[in-house]
Chains A and B, each alone.
Chain A
Amino acid sequence: MSEELSPSPGHEKWSALLEQVALHRDKRAFAELFEHFAPLLKAYLFSIGGRSLNDASVEELVQEAMLSVWRKAPLYDRKKAAASTWIYTLTRNLRIDWLRRQNRQEAEELPDEWEDADEHEPVVSLHLHKLNHELNHSLKQLPIDQKEVLMKVYMEDKSHQDVAMELNLPLGTVKSRVRLALQKLKVNLSHVEL
């Protein structure tokens, strides 16, 4: 794969560190990942947790997520996802399982089943490479109102409907802002759009 098609250069460092962890159980590489990602995951869980997560459980989940990064690093493939994407999905799934445990008052851990659901395609499309490469840049170009709804859906645990109510907008407006934003980020949903 040519250099210019890899996820954007800033990401190379984190991908390389993840590979170090995968191949050599390299604790120094892991410590660097921890320093970068643990505060981001804390911000994420805080933002998305709302009332359902208190301070102690946020850090507990950050810890659980970082330990998962250590354990699952061998599954990471830099050709398919930026390190931040991989760590994001892993934490998102942990949180879903955590919420589910809370609701069911179950002590036992649920099996790692989401990872398989998200299992990526064996073939990495050129399109995904292009998207990964340009994503951080195109995110900065988004109009504020489009980025706002995207942030709410992804980082605040809100459905399109919730966002519409919060911003006092028609549901259709929220849907079209999300759709426009995703189009600009080159997310291809053509097979499900009418």
Chain B
Amino acid sequence: MSHFHPQPEWLTEYAAGSLDWPMALAVGVHLHYCPACRQAVQQLDAVGGALLEELTPMAVSAGLKASVMAMLDDVPVLPVQKTKAPDVPALLKRWVPQGYTDLRWRRVLPVLHEVMLEKNRDIKVALHRIAPGGKISSHTHTGQEITVVLSGHFSDELGMYADGDFILRTGEHQHSPRASQNEECICLTIVQGGLKVSGLLGVLVNPFLR
């Protein structure tokens, strides 16, 4: 059971499908761990279904039904049993087919490894692994940073976080995350608009975290 959740507006926008993809990914991963948010989204989905029925139907083109009906026999039947590695949220399976240990972790700092999932001009989606007791130098964000804990624990100036916790940091916060002493911590991190490292290591780390 997580203790840090996305704000209510995010859950609503998630159910409404209006949340941008990387944020929707973060919320979806959080849902994997959080029964309370899953139940909330289930209810918010029901609102979507009811609103759908409030719309004025629009006639589809004449041939559409016939062409769909003609395709039905070619649609593969859904395999009933889904394969499931219990530890990895379904949304991350594409990048983490076997588990976190088999990934190609790239060393960013002695205590920090990274696997980049997606990167473009304004957004970076990555997995981070912090070694037991590892501390990341203090940084602030020019945009926002979302972290969802996938395994282990970490803490910063504002709290202590475990599996599924959803942490949003913006320019207001300066923080230095630290993994717990007894195990490594793996997180999903989404950074929009970059971050600025303020500590001594800043000069070294900045080119990697940008």
Contacts and interface: CB of A to CB of B under 8 A. Distances in A.
Given A59-B61, A59-B64, A118 B41 contact: yes
Contacts, number: 210
Interface stretch (B9-17, B135-143, B186-194): B9-17
B100 to A, nearest CB: 17
A108 B89 CA distance: 22
Nearest to B18: A157
B58 interface: yes
Interface in B48-80: 48-61, 64-65, 67-69, 71-72, 75-78, 80
A34 B48 contact: no
B46 A71 contact: no
B98 interface: no
B42 A121 contact: yes
Contacts of B60: 38-39, 42, 59, 62
B104 interface: no
A96 B41 contact: no
Interface in B1-40: 5-9, 11-13, 15-19, 21, 24, 28-29, 31-32, 35-40
Q: Which secondary structure dominates chain B's binding surface?
A: helix
A186 B6 CA distance: 20
B43 interface: yes
B46 A81 contact: yes
Interface residues of A, number: 82
B75 A160 contact: no
Contact of A159 (B7, B18, B52, B78): B18
B42 A120 contact: yes
Those 7 A-B pairs whose CB atoms lie nearest each other, nearest first: A85-B49, A116-B90, A39-B57, A117-B28, A84-B49, A92-B17, A43-B55
Given A42-B60, A153-B16, A178-B12, 9 more contacts: A39-B59, A62-B64, A82-B49, A113-B90, A115-B90, A121-B35, A150-B51, A157-B17, A192-B37
Interface of A: 25, 27, 30-31, 34-35, 38-44, 46-48, 59, 62-63, 66-67, 70-72, 74-75, 80-89, 92-93, 95-96, 99-100, 110-111, 113-121, 125, 127-128, 131-132, 135-136, 139, 150-151, 153-155, 157-160, 175, 178-179, 182, 185-189, 191-193
